[in-house]
Structure 1
């Protein structure tokens, strides 16, 4: 029986806690955050949980909450990751994070290298495993892309694409934290180009696709995501020597954000206009509605009606198989916004990200991992990928893969 500490009681942490409450191999879930109300609201709907208030700025505070746990699930902002990693090592616990921190070095790929090498060695020394990038993207996207590699002998290009086309009748550009969403819109973006990790311009290098099940073609652009960094660093060991890797994002959020980015309205630098000093980013965020979190809020939005409820989650990997050029095309299918609410009282964004995250936790509690050290989710073995995808099927999250000649 496993004891778990879930740090952070937002959408991701709450979903993991709820799913683990159903797992027979879990004896106790400690739900911890600095927000007592959020902790109390979560604990009261769970059977195996208790709440704690934790200051994530203080490693000792985390260690106290983590005493005796088998796994720490870190659902806090990425700046807190070093503190949580240190706490996990101190109490000799496994570790799961939804992303990779960016505070260990000024060059983000170097941050990931430090996690692989330094923290990887330290977790291996205590016989534990840490895994980063465990949501939907990164997370399921990494598993799906790694799974594509079994159909190739060599890989040239990997293109990952996410289109989020759920649009409410009310003004709601983002179904998750507007602050986080807009931060992602201006963060440095990375791609593997000719075998080298390079920075690309956010909102640049557009591609257009007409995805299955979508009404019209969609334009997607460069976007800050972990996958390209993970896979770029692991290109030779896990991705058949891939030369070019890109992540593209499109949909309502991009359509809203790209003009703001180009106009400089997402800048975090102070500006003065007509005698008033302000930060453009802060002004924009202050005018955005918060993402719906509670069941009553979501129901109200759905009762008003949606303009559309569609999306796509697609990988195109090209290379060779048996001496012939091929493309491995993989689509992910999952419940949309309306169906997710009918099933679980949550949005499609919450369903996919949270549920996919909880499956990585499920693999911990069922002792499905065979590795120690620190890995990212693209580094699962094919056998681990298959276990993960089998769990996903039970939630109607499935992959459809087709190998096409070129």
Structure 2
């Protein structure tokens, strides 16, 4: 029987808690956050839940909550990642997060390398496993990318493609944390190109795709995201020697953010306006509504009506099989907003990211991780990928793969 600590009871953490509440191999779920009201509301709907207040800026506070647990699931903002990693090592337990922390090094890519090398060594020394980047993207999409490798002998190029097509009638540009969304929108994207990590221009280098289930041509652009970094660093061992790996993004959030980025309004550098020091990013953020997370709020948005309720998550991998050049295209299908609300009273963003993360937690609970040290979600074995996908299907998250020979 496993005891789990979930740090951060927002959309991701609360979904994982509810999923684990159904797992027979879980004895206790400690739900911890600085927001005591949020903790209380979550624990109130769990059979195995216990609430605690934790100050994530204080490692000792995290350690106190983590004593005796088998796994820490970190659903906190990225700046607390280093503290949680250190606490997990101190109490000698396993670790999981939804996106790699930015608090290890001022250069995020260098921070990832440190996590693989130094933290990987430290977790291995205590015989424990840390799995990072386990949401939907990164996370689920990484499992899909690993699956495409089963169809190839060698790989040249991988495109990770995401379209956020759910749009409400009210002003609601983001269905997840606005500060995270805007930071990513204004961040410098990384790509793995010709075997090297490079930086690209936000919203640059567009590609165009048409998917029959969306019904229109979509313009996808460069975006600051994890996949090219993780997969690029792991290309030789896990992605059949891929030389080019990209993340391409589209949707209502991109449509909203691109012009304000072009206008300089996502800058975090103070500037003087009419004698006042102003940070443009903070001004924009002040006017963005928070992502909906409560049942009544989501119900109200749906009843007001939606502009669109669609989306796409696709991995395209181009390489060779039996001497022939082929493209392997894997589409991820999952419930949309209306269906997610009917099923669980949550948004489709909460459903996909939370359920995607919960499946990695389930793998911990069922002892499916044979690795020790630190890995990211793109480093699963093929057996682990197959198990993950099998479990996902039970949540109506399915993968459809098409192989095409290229001339």
C-alpha distance in 1 between matches for 2:116 and 2:259: 37
Residue matched to 1:180? 180
Cα deviation per residue 1:223-271 (whole Å; 9 max; x = unaligned)? 1111110011001010111011000110000000000000001111111
Deviation at 1:378, TM superposition (A): 0.4
Is 2:81 the counterpart of 1:81? Answer: yes
Cα deviation per residue 1:193-250 (whole Å; 9 max; x = unaligned)? 1000111111111111112301211101111111110011001010111011000110
- Describe how 1:17-32 pairs up with structure 2 within 5 A: 17-32=17-32
- Describe how 1:269-280 pairs up with structure 2 within 5 A: 269-280=269-280
Cα deviation per residue 1:121-147 (whole Å; 9 max; x = unaligned)? 111111110000100000001110011
For structure 2, list consecutive stretches of 5 or more residues without a partner in the other structure: none
4+ long deviations beyond 3 Å:
none
Residue matched to 1:197? 197
Residue matched to 2:319? 319
Residue matched to 2:368? 368
Residue matched to 2:253? 253
C-alpha distance in 1 between matches for 2:106 and 2:68: 34
For structure 1, list consecutive stretches of 5 or more residues without a partner in the other structure: none
Cα deviation per residue 1:272-312 (whole Å; 9 max; x = unaligned)? 22223211111111111111110000000000110111110
Residue matched to 1:60? 60
Q: Secondary structure at the match of 1:165?
A: strand
Residue matched to 1:216? 216
Residue matched to 2:47? 47
C-alpha distance in 1 between matches for 2:149 and 2:109: 22
C-alpha distance in 2 between matches for 1:171 and 1:111: 35
Please say if residues 81 and 102 of structure 2, whose CA atoms lie closer than 8 Å, have aligned partners that are also in contact. Answer: no
C-alpha distance in 2 between matches for 1:316 and 1:161: 8
Residue matched to 1:33? 33
- Describe how 1:3-402 pairs up with structure 2 within 5 A: 3-402=3-402
Deviation at 1:365, TM superposition (A): 0.5
Moved more, 293-302 or 73-82: 73-82
C-alpha distance in 2 between matches for 1:188 and 1:15: 30
Q: Secondary structure at the match of 2:103?
A: coil
C-alpha distance in 2 between matches for 1:268 and 1:107: 17
Deviation at 1:103, TM superposition (A): 2.2
C-alpha distance in 1 between matches for 2:177 and 2:374: 28
Deviation at 1:30, TM superposition (A): 0.4
Please say if residues 135 and 356 of structure 2, whose CA atoms lie closer than 8 Å, have aligned partners that are also in contact. Answer: yes
C-alpha distance in 1 between matches for 2:384 and 2:24: 20
C-alpha distance in 2 between matches for 1:59 and 1:308: 43
Q: Secondary structure at the match of 2:401?
A: strand
Q: How many residues align?
A: 406
Please say if residues 119 and 373 of structure 2, whose CA atoms lie closer than 8 Å, have aligned partners that are also in contact. Answer: yes
Cα deviation per residue 1:334-367 (whole Å; 9 max; x = unaligned)? 0001100011101111100000000000010011
Q: Secondary structure at the match of 2:339?
A: helix
C-alpha distance in 2 between matches for 1:59 and 1:171: 38
C-alpha distance in 2 between matches for 1:282 and 1:243: 38
